[in-house]
Amino acid sequence: MNAAPPAEPAHPVLDITGLKRHFGGGAGTVKAVDGVSLTIGRGEILGLVGESGSGKSTVGRCAVRLDRPTDGTVRINGRDITRLSRRALRPLRKDFHLVFQDPSSSLDPRMTVGAIVAEPLRLHRIATGDALRERVAALLEQVGLRPEHARRRPHELSGGQRQRVSIARALSVDPRLLVADEPTSALDVSVQASVLNLLADLQRDRHFGCLFITHDLAAVEYLADRIAVMYLGQLVEQAPAAELFADPKHPYTQALLSAAPVPDPPRQRTRARILLSGELPSPLDPPAGCRFHTRCPLATDRCRTEPPALRELPGGGRQVSCHLVADDGTAPDASAPPR
């Protein structure tokens, strides 16, 4: 009897290594993303958080090759797509899709909802005729829309319904990776929760990997398995979601969480508000040393001159980029800086 062939290695759905995306050149170079590495496994949701201008959306655009990286590699299911031509990328695009921030600008106003959802299926020659119409109807039902919505155009729908159409389109070809770039920020607060619940249900049922980009800490705490925190083009902390919210290590992460509204008053009282001084520095001229030192209440001379490396903490699964976090994971409290 012949031996069974060895199992193929299980590649991460998304594997980004040393990603850089710089715009311009010379003294006018904007370092939007400057050395980011992260992975997402099948069935995992990684939340990417940070202030506006931190580079989150640029990471997402590079992950699906809407933007070409300046340096580094992007692998989808083990396949390096970093420098593939448009023609070589085309058959691979069914494996990864992006849900844009504003469905009003990402849906063609001239097309019906049915045609929008059907377009990826037609382009990849997955279904035609009656099979195509049945699949579109099933997709609309899965995202909470009715069959008659297929005949409408985007302007006839509410913001929440338009985002559901975007999600149906992205999932129509059953991708392995979904990049959701601020998918609820353009929606009314009253419908944000329903869209988040929809994403959670679909991800659980379809088991795709998801890069969930947001500035909404409540949303990322609810949805994500792990969280990566960005500041000025670089990652400063990565951790399982529960661990990061319970015990943030980096002073910037501590400040972010302290500013988030918490519905549980006793929990709010245990976390002092950390007020950061100054504005986010320009990516045209990032500070020397730790990029956060210009706003960090705990910054030392070392922080101002020596860039900290993103290093693994004991126990695995947790990384931090801060000189002040000890090797055993002990972190300072940014709300009580030394005198």
Mind listing the pLDDT tens digit for each residue in 287-320?
Answer: 999 999 999 999 999 999 999 999 999 987 899 9
Residue 74 main-chain phi, psi, to 5 deg? -125, 120
Burial class (CB in 10 A: 0-12, 13-18, 19+), 86: exposed
CA distance 262 to 125: 47
The rounded distance, in Å, linking the Cα atoms of 214 and 237 is 15
Give per-residue pLDDT as tens, 244-274: 999 999 999 999 998 877 666 555 545 678 8
94 token code pair: 């069914």
For residue 9, which of 73, 95, 94, 78 has the smallest C-alpha distance?
A: 78
Q: Which amino acid is at 160?
A: G
Which are the contacts of 231, defined by CB distance < 8 A and separation ≥ 6?
A: 50, 51, 54, 252, 291, 292
Give the pLDDT confidence of 151-163 residue by residue, as tens digits.
Answer: 999 999 999 999 9
Per-residue model confidence (pLDDT) at position 4: 52
How many CB atoms are located within 10 Å of the residue 189 CB?
7
Confidence of residue 103 (pLDDT cuts 50, 70, 90): confident
Please check whether residue 199 is in contact with residue 230, taking contact to mean a CB–CB distance below 8 angstroms: no
Alpha carbons 236 and 248: distance in angstroms, whole number: 11
